[in-house]
Amino acid sequence: MPLPHRLAVTAVLTTAALAGALAPAAATPLPLPLPLDGESADRLVITVSETGEDDDAATYLLSCHPTGGTHPRARAACAQLDSQTVWGRDPFAPVSPDAMCTGQYGGPATARVTGHWAGRPVNAWFNRTNGCEIARWNRFSVVLRMPGS
């Protein structure tokens, strides 16, 4: 086989091999095992405190797909999470350190969300210490339901 033809064939085969090797890793998340008891793989534990202190915290379990758990507005919370979920973006991502945020204070409320959502682990903290954090909290206002509200 002439050298130019061999180079062309090698380039095509190398490109195809690389595309096949890289595409699944970039496009497909690793599958998580299904829950043993038939419950949803989208399960979150949500702990919310109005004062930021552990002694007044309320903790909810939220399961989606199917909806369940102890969250008082589970169906609406699952719908809110679904609306925030976009392929390739972490809906629970913290505010960027480079974000320009207003200096307003939204109170001492804090929240923590842990578990699994959309096939990925979740370990997110929320507060209302500036305009960016308040906006982030508000995007999850139903999920982060304040105790007594």
- For domain 40-149, the CATH architecture is 2-Layer Sandwich (3.30)
Q: How far from each other are the two terminal CA atoms of the chain, in whole angstroms? A: 77
DSSP per-residue codes, 78-142? HHHHHHH--TTS-TTPPPPTT---------S-EEEEEEEETTEEEEEEEE-SSHHHHHHHHHTTT
Q: Give CA–CA dist 36/19, Å, rounded.
A: 35
Sign of CA dihedral 95, 46, 118, 81: negative
Summarize pLDDT for 8-21 with one digit per residue, the tens.
Answer: 444 434 444 444 44
Residue 37: its pLDDT value, please? 53
Summarize pLDDT for 33-80 with one digit per residue, the tens.
Answer: 445 555 578 999 999 998 777 778 899 999 999 999 999 999 999 999
Quick check: pTM over 0.75? no
| Token digits of residue 138 | 């508000």
Where do the domains of the chain lie?
1-28, 40-149
